[in-house]
């Protein structure tokens, strides 16, 4: 039930965030005018806000950036991970200033407006982060009105009525069509190059559950010839391409919901002994196909500084992460071993089959944005197909 009373809208407030529990945060709206409802999460990266906003894994989510200076380098045509931003909106500490970067082609606030995404500035984002850490990732509504005319009771009811990400299949909403992928390396001033794969390059079919473009680029960089298929591809469609290996991409939503149609395909590919490599959502569905379970996390992992320990040699990788669900390591079957763990909370970050050529990691080894410690995984996968 909505609260009977709400705070008065402060003078100059043109944006507001209303949580499902009735918590209200005012600020200055920018970007598109309107409302957006979804799950509120926080992201700790200091760079790469354009890549983050366009990561399909953020579908259904509002991003609270912990770094105070977001938008100060503007936007450009290269630093995108999808054709459009999938994050619903963003919350930042400082007002977006005029861009100061030679690559800028459009200020961040104008870019948000053009893509129908809402921004909120003037917010204590660290305090909001603490709230998420204490109470978990809440459902929320983000609203922007230049006149500051907000119906807080209606916004609160909207936040309360949103069903949440648990049980929600979002991969089907963000997946792309079947296509060959040729983009590879990037050069300053020239952008991304079309990399013609060698005729004898291993053919990788990538199932797109909401993949970032840089994931496909890294497969090409590692030496693969890549064909992308949509999330709903059947095992017959995959087999028809005669792949040397299959890649399971990242993506948004609940892996168990997407797994309703994707897990049977993955199980069939495991039975065919096709080499498999999954990341993030793909990693989780690979675990589901093995018989393990996944669960919703309290606050999730989203940032570019997450330490992950490799269990076989003790090496620690600094990784980029974006996930709100995790594999329950206690449900892994005997033929699947844990290979990586988070040093933040001990959650599962990697698995490998002992009787199949299949492995997965919870993080994003393509690092856009983020560190490049984990590119070796693409090389390991592609070289293992020869």
pLDDT of residue 89: 98
- 309's CB contacts (< 8 A; 6+ apart) are 315, 316, 317, 340, 341, 343
Domain boundary among 161, 180, 196: 161
Residue 141 domain boundaries:
15-161
User: Do residue 235 and residue 372 come from a single domain?
Assistant: yes
User: Do residue 210 and residue 359 come from a single domain?
Assistant: yes
Mean pLDDT, the chain, integer:
95
Domain boundary among 140, 161, 182: 161
Residue 338 bears catalytic tag: no
User: Do residue 80 and residue 190 come from a single domain?
Assistant: no
Selection from 57-66, 76-85, 190-199 with the highest mean pLDDT? 57-66
User: pTM of the full predicted structure?
Assistant: 0.95
- Secondary structure element (H or E) that encloses residue 319, with its range: strand 316-327
The domain spanning residue 322 has which CATH number?
3.40.50.880
Q: Classify 306 as helix, strand or coil.
A: strand
Domain boundary among 123, 138, 161: 161
- 150's CB contacts (< 8 A; 6+ apart) are 9, 16, 143
Selecting among 35, 81, 317, 366, the annotated active-site residue is 366
The burial of 125, by beta-carbon neighbours within 10 Å (0-12 exposed, 13-18 middle, 19 or more buried), is given as: buried
Considering the domain boundaries, does residue 188 fall inside one?
A: yes
Cβ burial 127-157 (10 Å sphere, 16+ → b, else e): ebbebbeeeebbbbbbbbbeebebebeebbe
Q: Quote the number of domains for the chain.
A: 2
Considering the domain boundaries, does residue 166 fall inside one?
A: no
Residue 90 bears catalytic tag: no
Residue 366 bears catalytic tag: yes
- Measured CA distances, 148 to 13, 152, 230 (Å): 6, 11, 42
User: Do residue 100 and residue 176 come from a single domain?
Assistant: no
Give the residue, 234 or 366, on which the prediction is more confident.
234
- For residue 1, pLDDT over 60 is answered with no
User: Do residue 266 and residue 141 come from a single domain?
Assistant: no
Q: pLDDT, tens digit, for every residue of 248-275?
A: 999 999 999 999 999 999 999 999 999 9
Cβ atoms of 378 and 219 within 8 Å: the answer is: yes
pLDDT of residue 194: 61
Selecting among 39, 280, 283, 340, the annotated active-site residue is 280
User: Do residue 182 and residue 121 come from a single domain?
Assistant: no
Mean pLDDT of 347-366: 97
């Amino acid at each position: 039930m909505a609260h009977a009373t709400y705070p008065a809208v402060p003078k100059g407030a043109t944006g507001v965030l209303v949580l499902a529990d009735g918590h209200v945060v005012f600020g200055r709206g920018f970007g598109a005018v309107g409302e957006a409802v979804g799950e509120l999460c926080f992201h700790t990266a200091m760079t790469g806000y354009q890549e983050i906003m366009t990561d399909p894994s953020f579908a259904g989510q509002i991003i609270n950036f912990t770094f105070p200076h977001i938008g100060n380098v503007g936007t450009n045509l290269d630093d995108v991970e999808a054709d459009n931003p999938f994050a619903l909106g963003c919350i930042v500490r400082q007002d977006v200033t005029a861009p100061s970067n030679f690559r800028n082609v459009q200020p961040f606030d104008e870019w948000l407006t053009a893509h129908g995404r809402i921004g909120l500035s003037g917010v204590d984002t660290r305090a909001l982060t603490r709230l998420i850490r204490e109470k978990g990732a809440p459902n929320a509504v983000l609203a922007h009105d230049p006149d500051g005319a907000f119906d807080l009771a209606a916004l609160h009811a909207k936040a309360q009525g949103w069903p949440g990400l648990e049980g929600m299949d979002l991969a089907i909403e963000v997946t792309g069509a079947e296509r060959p992928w040729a983009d590879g390396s990037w050069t300053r001033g020239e952008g991304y190059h079309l990399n013609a794969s060698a005729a004898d390059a291993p053919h990788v079919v990538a199932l797109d559950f909401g993949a970032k473009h840089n994931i496909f680029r890294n497969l090409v960089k590692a030496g693969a010839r890549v064909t992308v298929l949509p999330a709903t591809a059947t095992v017959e469609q995959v087999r028809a391409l005669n792949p040397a290996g299959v890649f399971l991409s990242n993506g948004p939503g609940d892996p168990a919901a997407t797994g309703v149609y994707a897990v049977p395909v993955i199980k069939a590919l495991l039975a065919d002994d096709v080499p498999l490599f999954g990341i993030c959502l793909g990693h989780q569905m690979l675990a589901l196909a093995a018989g393990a379970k996944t669960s919703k996390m309290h606050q999730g992992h989203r940032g570019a500084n997450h330490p992950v320990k490799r269990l076989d040699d003790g090496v620690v990788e600094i990784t980029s992460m974006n996930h709100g669900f995790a594999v329950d390591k206690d449900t892994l079957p005997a033929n699947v071993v844990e290979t990586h763990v988070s040093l933040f909370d001990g959650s599962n970050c990697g698995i490998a089959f002992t009787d199949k050529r299949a492995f997965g990691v919870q993080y994003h080894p393509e690092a856009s944005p983020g560190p490049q410690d984990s590119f070796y995984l693409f090389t390991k996968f592609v070289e293992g197909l020869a």
